[in-house]
């Protein structure tokens, strides 16, 4: 097991370029199952979750060639409905993304229960509902079995705007016979990128970026080439790192057009940045004062489906709020265990009251001190890194393999900005 040792209290300064979007790379890799022709993907993030997805695809008969410079050629000429490794499937949530393309292309898939971050129950009912509407048979007995002799288009109203549920439905509908109308669809940047790739491969998808998609099924898809966009979660994580250390950082290729609502929320925390083309520049001078609601009421920052503030950035916003003047209520209704890293920030000196599993009140600014803590999941782990960078003294963050699942070479990027961070192996 590896750990980070971080000496805090140093401002970060310099320039970085974020890696490709993890949450786009995973469905894009799964989408390559829909065609027997080669698909070339550029800007593939070199992170653990992506490597696990690669191993699962290879077990299904897919050939993946590393072309260098983070580009992969993916060829699914012949796919086989092999039994997937249960341990591998449990390591990442994205294993469920194999259901749609394998059901459409091969007509069968046996899938062990998917895993991922331990942030509460994460239902897959939406995936099953959508695939059944298109004619798939789905059974469950300690593992899922998907079967179909040919999918048919349908008018589908998803019971929730599930990102991966939407992605599975999009992939299946691309090869289904007839028209599929997908309502209450998720519209995150990675969902849009999946649709863009599929259209390059010959799919017919209209309404990209909205919550209603029209997908006209085609007989087959061909090969193509696509560049994965920047990971906006990594971009905002580095915004947070600059802010809590009072440093100035330029983030190249930041995908600024996707950051509108995030910027609105961060403005309420007294944080802003400057856009320069598709770069953003985070200045060292930040107001860092909570903007109260009318009547001087404590404001609430609440997660919701895109384009509202995303749940995966709640913990980063909490870290920033510990350094801002005033009080703010954070509310993440989506996952019952998302807030269960708060005690680690409190142990470092943060002034946070955990109201219930979904809400906490942060009062700042707080003087943080170095501490020994453990990363519970990807996003909370990165938040602890931010707290350690802001703290006085030395912090030790254990179980950083969780952070590596979603962030490529995060310690190297931070060192390039002037952070004193070491990666050590625990014996």
| Catalytic residue chosen out of the listed positions 49, 117, 332, 377 | 117
Which of the listed residues 210, 227, 244 is the one where a domain comes to its end?
Answer: 227
CB 362 within 8 A of CB 325: no
Cβ-based neighbours of 184, under 8 Å, separated by 6 or more: 157, 158, 159, 160, 161, 211
Q: How would residue 120 be classed by pLDDT, with cut points 50, 70 and 90?
A: very low
Residue ending a domain, choose from 204, 227, 250: 227
Q: How far apart are CA 207 and CA 182, in angstroms?
A: 10
State whether 244 and 261 are in the same domain: yes
The predicted model gives 38-43 an average pLDDT of 98
pLDDT at res. 91: 76
One domain for residues 9 and 75: no
Residues 241 and 204 placed together within one structural domain of the fold = no
Domain range for 341 is 2-19+230-425
pLDDT on residue 115: 61
Supply the pLDDT for residue 404.
95
Cβ proximity of 146 and 102 under 8 Å: yes
pLDDT (average), residues 326-347: 93
Output the average pLDDT for the chain: 94
Nearest residue to 362 (alpha-carbon basis) of 309, 305, 301: 301
| Residues 241, 140 within the same domain | no
Residue 267 contacts by C-beta under 8 Å, 6 or more apart in sequence? Answer: 291
Number of domains in the chain: 2
Are both 245 and 278 inside the same structural domain? yes
For residue 116, is pLDDT > 50? no
Measured between alpha carbons, how far is 194 from 182 in angstroms, rounded to an integer?
A: 15
What percentage of the chain exceeds 90 in pLDDT? 88
Q: According to the model, what pLDDT value does residue 121 have?
A: 44
Say yes or no: 234 and 223 in one domain. Answer: no
> Exposed (0-12), middle (13-18) or buried (19+): which is 410, by Cβ within 10 Å?
buried
83/145 Cα distance (integer angstroms)? 10
Instruction: Give the tokens for residue 122.
Output: 């994460």
- Region 99-112: mean pLDDT is 93
CATH number of the domain that 206 lies in? 3.65.10.10
* Token representation of residue 379: 């996003």
List, for residues 372-409, the tens digit of each pLDDT value. Answer: 999 999 999 999 999 999 999 999 999 999 999 999 99
Structure tokens, 337:
């265990």
Mean pLDDT of 108-129: 71
Contact between 385 and 397 (Cβ < 8 Å):
yes
Same-domain check for residues 206 and 253: no
Cβ contacts of 294 within 8 Å, gap of 6 or more: none
pLDDT at 216 over 70: yes
Same domain, 212 and 316: no
Per-residue pLDDT, averaged over 46-75, amounts to 96
Q: Among the three residues 178, 212, 227, which one is the final residue of a domain in this structure? A: 227
What integer pLDDT is reported at residue 348 of this predicted model?
A: 98
Q: Is the domain of 239 the same as that of 206?
A: no
Helix (H, G, I), strand (E, B) or coil at 22: helix
Q: What is the pLDDT of residue 78?
A: 86
Average pLDDT over residues 107-115: 84
For residues 162 and 187, what is the distance between their CA atoms, to the nearest angstrom?
10
Whether the predicted pLDDT of 293 surpasses 80: yes
**Catalytic annotation present for 87:** no
pLDDT for residue 219 is more than 50: yes
Look at the pTM and tell me if it is higher than 0.85: yes
Determine what percent of the chain is predicted with pLDDT higher than 70.
Answer: 98
Q: What is the pLDDT of residue 57?
A: 95
Q: Give the per-residue pLDDT at 118.
A: 39
> Is the Cα torsion angle 90, 95, 100, 106 positive or negative in sign?
negative
- pLDDT tens for 169-185 read 999 999 999 999 999 99
Query: H or E segment at 224?
Result: strand 224-227
The CA distance from 420 to 7, in Å, is 5
pLDDT at 2: 96
The candidate with the shortest Cα–Cα distance to 287, out of 306, 305, 267, 303, is 267
Shared domain for 209 and 260, answered yes or no, is: no
Gap between the Cα atoms of 406 and 52, Å rounded: 12
242 contacts 282 by C-beta, under 8 angstroms: yes
Average pLDDT over residues 124-150: 92
One domain for residues 259 and 204 = no
């Amino acid at each position: 097991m590896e750990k980070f040792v971080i000496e805090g209290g140093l401002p970060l300064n310099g320039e970085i370029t974020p890696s490709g979007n993890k949450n786009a790379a995973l469905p894009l890799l799964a989408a390559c199952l829909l065609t027997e022709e080669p698909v070339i993907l550029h800007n593939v993030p070199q992170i653990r979750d992506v490597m696990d997805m690669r191993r699962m695809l290879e077990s299904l008969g897919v050939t993946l060639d590393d072309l260098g410079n983070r580009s992969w050629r993916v060829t699914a000429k012949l796919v086989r409905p092999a039994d997937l490794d249960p341990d591998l499937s449990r390591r990442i949530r994205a294993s469920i993304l194999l259901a749609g393309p394998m059901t459409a292309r091969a007509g069968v898939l046996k899938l062990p229960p998917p895993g991922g971050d331990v942030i509460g129950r994460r239902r897959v009912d939406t995936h099953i509902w959508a695939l059944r509407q298109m004619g798939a048979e789905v059974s469950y007995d300690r593992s899922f079995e998907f079967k179909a002799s040919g999918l048919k288009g349908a008018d589908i109203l998803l019971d929730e705007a599930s990102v991966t549920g939407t992605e599975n439905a999009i992939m299946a509908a691309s090869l289904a016979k007839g028209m599929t109308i997908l309502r209450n669809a998720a519209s995150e940047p990675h969902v849009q990128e999946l649709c863009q790739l599929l259209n390059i491969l010959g799919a017919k998808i209209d309404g990209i970026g909205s919550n209603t998609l029209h997908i006209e099924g085609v007989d087959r898809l061909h090969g193509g080439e696509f560049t994965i966009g920047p990971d906006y979660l990594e971009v905002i994580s580095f915004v947070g790192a600059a802010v809590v250390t009072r440093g100035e950082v330029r983030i190249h290729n930041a995908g600024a057009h996707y950051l509108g609502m995030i910027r609105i929320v961060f403005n309420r925390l007294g944080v802003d940045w400057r856009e320069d083309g598709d770069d953003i520049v985070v200045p060292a001078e930040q107001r860092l004062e909570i903007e109260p609601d009318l009547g001087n009421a404590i404001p609430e920052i609440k997660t919701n489906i895109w384009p509202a503030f995303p749940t995966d950035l709640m913990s980063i916003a909490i870290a920033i709020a510990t350094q801002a003047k005033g009080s703010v209520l954070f509310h993440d209704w989506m996952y019952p265990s998302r807030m269960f890293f708060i005690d680690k920030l409190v142990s470092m000196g943060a002034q946070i009251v955990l109201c219930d599993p979904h809400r906490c009140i942060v009062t700042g600014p707080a003087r943080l001190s170095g501490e020994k803590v453990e990363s519970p999941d990807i996003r909370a782990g990165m938040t602890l890194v931010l707290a350690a960078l802001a703290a006085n003294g030395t912090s030790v963050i254990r179980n950083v393999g969780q952070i590596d699942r979603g962030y490529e070479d995060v310690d190297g990027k931070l060192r390039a900005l002037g952070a004193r961070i070491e990666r050590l192996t625990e014996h």
